[in-house]
Amino acid sequence: MIDIRGLREDPALVKELLGRRGVESSIVEELTALDAAYRDAVSARDELRSRVNETSRRVAEAYRNKEAAEAERLKEESRRLGAELEVVAAQATDLEGRRKDLWLVIPNVPSPDAPVGAGEDDNVVVRYWSSDGGSSVEAPDLDYPAHKRVPHWDIGVELEILDLERGAKLSGSMFPLYKGMGSRLIRALTSFALDAHADSFLEIRPPTFVKRETMISTGHLPKFADDAYQMERDDLWAIPTAEVPLTSMARDEILEADQLPLRMTAATPCFRREAGSAGRDTRGLLRLHEFDKVELMVYATPAQAQEMHIEILSRAEALLRQLGLTYRVLDLCTGDLGASSRRTFDLEVYAPGVDRWLEVSSVSWFGDYQARRANVRYRTEPGGGVEFVHTLNGSALAWARVIAAILETGREADGSVTLPPVLTPYLRGAARIPVPEAEI
């Protein structure tokens, strides 16, 4: 949730920054009005409660002094005040609920440094990287030979490592089935990434299904309920990303300053309905209902947040460089930011077979937006006050589209696929996926 104190202190600035991401000023004004009305109701409720308590004390005192008439008069006044208190308390409760309902769906205030724009066409390319050209602000040469211009879904069938038809038979479309070297490739990539982060990130294996409040903490609920899978009987939700359980690891806790930054990583399946993408990018591994991902998550102090943002981005980039994949870094504009994010960098790999840049990581800084929802705080110094932590996360990496790029980039003229050498130790020495021998 946005900082309500910041809204009270400078509503014009909050409206201006939220306006950069398309939030109508009337919505911010409505929250401001509800907040003021709620605080007035709470003040009136507390004043009436104090008067009721004082009147009750005076009733007891009148009885002790054998002033029966005065006691009866005060009892009547107490009943009248009690009735007023019930009305005002109910108003305060109603206003609190209405304020919270609106507060929960208002997106985060974007960083002033985030590029201003209306949508993905306004995202800013920060840099490119390719194995033959290194890092550059100029786009690399994307002139690939014809044998690398084969889409990964055809390669997967030819090499007998991807069976989308059987996946659809088992679970429906956009649920892939990997087999043989395809399955081993996911496992190898996961182990490779977890080992790369083991130097300073605590590995976690969180539950795959979480409570409603866990989804609310990251901002996935209530706004994005249609994109999530729910087990209604138990009101549990399939995680769309390990960010969800990791953000709530310290929910309702107070950390010590010397525990921060607290770095965590997790490999999990991720589930997304993709409700708004019907008929779009549904072939192969481009858009899935279930996929595997390694996530990085950090709790940090405000002073540490920017450094942590760069560290997560650098780690994700390092993996792509080791895999030898051409990629670019995008600074997302305000109109394309996720609802909870203050600033986000996306990493996109180039896949020659589909001739597309494919997002494989989003590295985001959320400020204290998620921490307010999850009530994750830290003590600024021993015995001192508490503040909300800042949360950051990034994919490092999401494997479905990485695999698509590996298959298309690594395809040789004979149809086999040369794999990134960094994966060889995780594939029992295998360096390529051969074309299956034809049956006689």
User: Which pLDDT score, from 0 to 100, does residue 278 have?
Assistant: 61
Counting Cβ atoms within 10 Å, is residue 440 exposed (0-12), middle (13-18) or buried (19+)?
exposed
Nearest to 2 by CA among 410, 378, 376, 366: 366
Q: Break the chain into its structural domains and give their ranges.
A: 4-105, 120-433
pLDDT at 274: 87
- Are the CB atoms for 369 and 108 separated by under 8 Å? yes
Q: Do domains 4-105 and 120-433 have the same CATH topology?
A: no
Per-residue pLDDT at 277:
63
pLDDT at residue 437, as a whole number: 86
Answer yes or no: are the C-beta atoms of 378 and 260 closer than 8 Å. Answer: yes
Closest residue by Cα to residue 165 from 180, 176, 156:
176
Nearest to 139 by CA among 348, 431, 429, 391: 348
Residue 276 pLDDT = 65
User: In DSSP terms, which residues pair with 264 in a beta bridge?
Assistant: 202, 297
Q: Are 360 and 395 in contact (CB under 8 A)?
A: yes
Handedness of CA 350, 356, 360, 365 (dihedral sign): positive
Q: Which pLDDT value is given to residue 383?
A: 87
Tens of each residue's pLDDT in the chain, 440 residues: 999 999 999 999 999 999 999 999 999 999 999 999 999 999 999 999 999 999 999 999 999 999 999 999 999 999 999 999 999 999 999 999 999 999 999 999 999 999 999 999 999 999 999 999 999 999 999 999 999 999 999 999 999 999 999 999 999 999 999 999 999 999 999 999 999 999 999 999 999 999 999 999 999 999 899 999 999 999 999 999 999 999 999 999 999 999 999 999 999 999 999 876 666 677 999 999 999 999 999 999 999 999 999 999 999 999 999 999 999 999 999 999 999 999 999 999 999 999 999 999 999 999 999 999 999 999 999 888 999 999 999 999 999 999 999 999 999 999 999 999 999 999 999 999 999 986 54
Query: Do 420 and 326 contact (CB within 8 A), yes or no?
Result: no
What's the pLDDT at 439? Answer: 56
Backbone φ and ψ of 95, nearest 5°: -65, -35
Strand order in the sheet with 343-351: 134-136, 124-130, 327-331, 343-351, 356-365, 390-398, 290-300, 262-271, 202-204
What is residue 416's DSSP assignment? Answer: -
Phi-psi region of 125 (alpha: psi -120 to 50; beta: other; left: phi over 0): beta
Contacts of 176 (CB under 8 A, 6+ apart): 162, 164, 167, 285, 288, 290, 291, 400
Q: Degrees (nearest 5) of the Cα angle 77, 79, 83?
A: 115
Q: How many other β-carbons are positioned within 10 Å of the β-carbon of residue 146?
A: 8
pLDDT of the residue at 78 = 94
Taking domain 120-433, whether its CATH number is 3.10.20.520 is answered by no
Pairing state of beta strands 356-365 and 390-398? Answer: antiparallel
The CATH code of the domain at 4-105 is 1.10.287.40
Determine contact, residues 288/254, Cβ cutoff 8 Å: no
